Structure 1
Amino acid sequence: MLRIILLQLVTMVVAACVAGLLGGVPALWSALLGGVCCVVPNSLFALRLFTSARKPGGTNPMTFFFGEFIKIATTFALMAAIVWLYHGLNWLAFVLSFIVVLKSYFILLFRHRP
């Protein structure tokens, strides 16, 4: 799980740098904030699963579904807060960065391990 979070952080920084080169500083900040909307909820979800797996009873489906609900709610809350508070938002950079970071775990799926 840690590798996925680290990969998402790296992808967020790369997407922000590309957005910054193409659209300037507002696009860079918008892309960073779009990535944060994905990385923070996923990190909280991974931490919750990690801690529940260490308990004597282990994980159960309700832990997973409740964690997924919290992840989605946190994502929407972060997006709403950013849209409300950051008035110079570049929507294209924000949404594209969110999507790229969200789907970055596909890179790990295609990685071959010997």
Structure 2
Amino acid sequence: MLPVVLTQLATTVITSVIAGLIAGLPGFFSALLGGLCCVVPNGLFALRLYIAAQMTKSVSPMTFFFGEFIKIGVTIAALAAVVWLYRDVNVLALVAAFIVALKSYIILLFRH
């Protein structure tokens, strides 16, 4: 799971730089926050699964589904917090970076 999270982080940074060049500093921060709304919950989910696998030597489906449920809730809460708290939010950059980070695992499919 670590390569997926690192790829998401890298695509978030790249997307943020591109958004910053196009839309200025608010676009950069909006894209960065949008990507992080995907990267942070996925990283926490991966960490939780890793710890559960190390402790019990296997991960039950219930652990996975509970973690996924929490991840979705944290993602929605983070997106809502960014839109609500960041006054200069560029919604297009936010959503674009979120989608790019969300779909960045496709890059790993072509790695070999």
TM-score, normalised with respect to structure 2? 0.97
- Please give the alpha-carbon distance, in whole angstroms, between the structure 2 residues aligned to 1:3 and 1:51: 17
- Please give the alpha-carbon distance, in whole angstroms, between the structure 2 residues aligned to 1:111 and 1:104: 12
Instruction: Please show how residues 1-114 of structure 1 align to structure 2 within 5 Å.
Output: 1-56=1-56, 58-112=58-112
Moved more, 52-61 or 35-44: 52-61
- Please give the alpha-carbon distance, in whole angstroms, between the structure 2 residues aligned to 1:93 and 1:57: 41
- Please give the alpha-carbon distance, in whole angstroms, between the structure 1 residues aligned to 2:58 and 2:52: 6
1:57 positional shift: 5.1
Misfit runs of 4+, over 4 Å: none
Identity value in percent: 61
- Please give the alpha-carbon distance, in whole angstroms, between the structure 1 residues aligned to 2:23 and 2:32: 13
RMSD over aligned CA atoms reads: 0.8
1:56 positional shift: 2.7
**AA of the residue aligned to 1:56:** T
Could you report, residue by residue, the CA deviation over 1:47-76 in whole angstroms, capped at 9, with x for unpaired residues?
Answer: 011001112352100000000000000000
1:109 positional shift: 1.1
Moved more, 10-19 or 51-60: 51-60
Q: Which runs of 5+ in 2 are unaligned?
A: none
- Please give the alpha-carbon distance, in whole angstroms, between the structure 2 residues aligned to 1:25 and 1:51: 38
Paired residues, number: 112
- Please give the alpha-carbon distance, in whole angstroms, between the structure 1 residues aligned to 2:15 and 2:79: 17
Q: Which runs of 5+ in 1 are unaligned?
A: none
